[in-house]
Amino acid sequence: MSQSPSDLELDLNESTINPPVSSDNASIKASSTAAESIFNTPSVQNPADSDASKVEQQRARASRLMQVVRDELGKVLIGQTAIVDGVLCTLIASGHVLIEGVPGLGKTLLVRAIAQCFSGQFNRIQFTPDLMPSDVTGHAIYDLQSEQFKLRRGPAFTNLLLADEINRAPAKTQAALLEVMQERSITLEGRSLAVPLPFMVLATQNPIEQEGTYPLPEAELDRFMVKLQIDYPEEHEEQRLVRAVTRSAQADMLDSTSLRVLLQPRDVLAIQKIASALPVDDQVLNYAVSLVRMTRQWPGLNSGAGPRASIDLIRYARARALLNGHAFVTPDDIKHSALNVLRHRVHLSAELDIEGLQVDQVLQQLINSVAAPRQ
């Protein structure tokens, strides 16, 4: 039985993170019982406790809290454990995620479930061919009463942004996310406006349907920390899924409203800070860089991944280590993170494409060819 999240307290200094949002918000009141004590840990009674011990306690508590969130999401995301882990790792690593899969596998449900467990702001944009950049970022409108222009902020001013079917909008609308994904700010009428933190874009796309879609530009693809491919569940998991959905009152979908609110924005910021400080040995870091550099010279790949991939691989591996309760990053964390971080940053040659090889197959051969440091 999972430990109650109310017992998960992190010994953190409030000055290192953003102050909490207003307690008047009903969702935040609901989450206060789950994780409010995360910032209210009493001072350590034993003055002999070392700083290293405090850091270890922070890491352990952050890991346990995220595992509770993972278990909560597993109540509605049946048979998609790897995808849930991938999205949570991306959140911990302060990144953005692109989720690709055929219709009906729960891509949108996953994002909605995460939003249900999170007390911050959540907005959804349904990308369509006629969607304009101002529909994403906002625009200036003329107020007849004041006879002045006022800025109307778009749905991108949020904590979690679902860009549903992002490849159905033209390139100019897709590019509206470039600035906010990198800078965490949006420029409107010459003013740079910060978005609330933490900020994360969760985009979905269908890989099969090509009519009426627009490929994402390379600059935007590179800003996604990972690309997750959601696949069909196993037979026993699909049986369990069908059984649960057909008992639900909401037609063909599981009810995610019953999920507990476990995280406040300040909790996520604190966990991100803890993950960023997780130790990475130089040999492990060099192993990650070697994997990325190998994509630039591997036969069958026309183009390889850039330095941002090396950075994202370390950040994502740190998050994976924290989620799994590790005290430091291991070569296995790097190895198991590489596919998610690299698959959208490389391109197959025409010869391999004609042979029917997939990017994941080529990357797996590459990963297996690079010797990992001994643990």
Q: Among 43-47, 128-132, 155-159, 314-318, where is mean pLDDT lowest?
A: 43-47
pLDDT at position 253 is: 61
Residues 211, 130 within the same domain = yes
Q: Is residue 15 pLDDT above 50, yes or no?
A: no
Residues 166 and 282 in one domain: no
Q: Are 169 and 203 in contact (CB under 8 A)?
A: no
pLDDT digits (tens, 9 = 90+) for 313-358: 999 999 999 999 999 999 999 999 999 999 999 999 888 888 888 9
Q: Distance between CA atoms of 117 and 263, rounded to whole angstroms?
A: 6
Res 16: pLDDT: 34
Indicate whether 222 pLDDT > 50: yes
Note the pLDDT of residue 255.
66
> For residue 338, what is the domain's CATH number?
1.10.8.80
Is pLDDT at 143 greater than 90 in this prediction? no
**What length does the chain have?**
375
The mean pLDDT of 9-34, rounded to a whole number, is 42
- What is the Cα–Cα distance from 365 to 342, expressed in whole angstroms? 13
- Local structure of 257: helix, strand or coil: coil
105: tokens are 């596998």
Residues 91 and 216 in one domain: yes
User: What is the pLDDT, as a whole number, of residue 140?
Assistant: 85
Give me the mean pLDDT over the 150-176 stretch: 93
Per-residue confidence (pLDDT) for residue 106, from 0 to 100? 82
Residue 168 has what pLDDT?
A: 93
Within 13 A of 342's CA, how many CA atoms are on the CB side? 34
Q: Cis omega (within 30 of 0) on the bond before 198?
A: yes
For residue 32, is pLDDT > 50?
no
CATH number at residue 158: 3.40.50.300
Q: Do 44 and 164 fall within a single domain?
A: no
Q: Has residue 254 got a pLDDT over 60? A: yes
- Quick one: which H or E segment has residue 163? strand 160-164
Q: Is residue 284 part of a domain?
A: yes
* Per-residue confidence (pLDDT) for residue 13, from 0 to 100: 42
Model pTM score: 0.84
Q: What is the DSSP string of 172-190?
A: HHHGGGHHHHHHSEEEETT
Q: Distance between alpha carbon 305 and the CA centroid of its chain, in Å?
A: 20
pLDDT at 39: 43
Contact 204, 165 (CB under 8 A): yes
User: DSSP letter at 95?
Assistant: -
| Same domain, residue pair 118 and 189 | yes
Which two tokens mark 169? Answer: 């909008």
**97 and 226 Cβ atoms separated by less than 8 Å:** yes
Question: How far apart are the C-alpha atoms of 192 and 173, rounded to whole Å?
Answer: 19
pLDDT in the model for residue 80: 87
For residue 54, give its domain range: 1-75+259-277
CB environment 278-306: b (16+ within 10 A), e (fewer) = bebeeebbebbbebbbbbeebebbeebbe
Side chain identity at residue 329, one-letter code: V
Query: Is the pLDDT assigned to residue 33 strictly greater than 80?
Result: no
